[in-house]
C-alpha cells in the first residue's frame, strides 16, 4: 500500500475533506498538530487508531499538493 492510499475522500464525511483510512480523522488535523509542534509520538498517543504511516501519508499528501502533482492514489468513496 502506498502512503497516499491511506488518504480517502468521502463526500459524506467532513464534506469531502481528506481523511485517513476512512477514520473520522482529517488530514488537516494531523498537519495542524504537526504545525503546532506536536511530535508524531504525541499524535499517536492522542489518536490510538492512527499508525505511524498515517502521519507520513498526511505529509506525503501535503507535499504532493504543494508540488502540483496528481494524487491518483487517493480514493474517493461514498460518492453516489
Reading the block at residue 54, the C-alpha cell is 498515517
The pLDDT, as a whole number, for residue 33 is: 98
Tally of CB atoms within 10 A around 71: 13
What CATH number corresponds to the domain at position 67? 1.10.10.10
The pLDDT, as a whole number, for residue 67 is: 85
Domains of the chain: total: 1
The pLDDT, as a whole number, for residue 49 is: 97
- Quick check: pTM over 0.85? no
Mean pLDDT, 10 residues at a time, the chain of 80 residues: 90 95 96 98 98 97 84 58
First-to-last alpha carbon distance for the chain, in angstroms, is: 25
Amino acid at each position: 500500500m502506498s502512503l497516499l492510499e491511506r488518504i480517502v475522500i468521502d463526500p459524506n464525511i467532513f464534506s469531502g475533506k481528506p481523511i485517513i483510512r476512512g477514520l473520522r480523522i482529517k488530514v488537516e488535523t494531523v498537519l495542524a498538530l504537526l504545525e503546532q509542534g506536536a511530535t508524531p509520538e504525541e499524535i499517536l498517543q492522542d489518536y490510538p487508531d492512527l499508525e505511524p504511516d498515517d502521519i507520513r501519508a498526511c505529509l506525503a499528501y501535503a507535499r504532493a499538493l504543494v508540488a502540483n502533482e496528481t494524487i491518483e492514489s487517493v480514493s474517493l468513496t461514498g460518492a453516489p
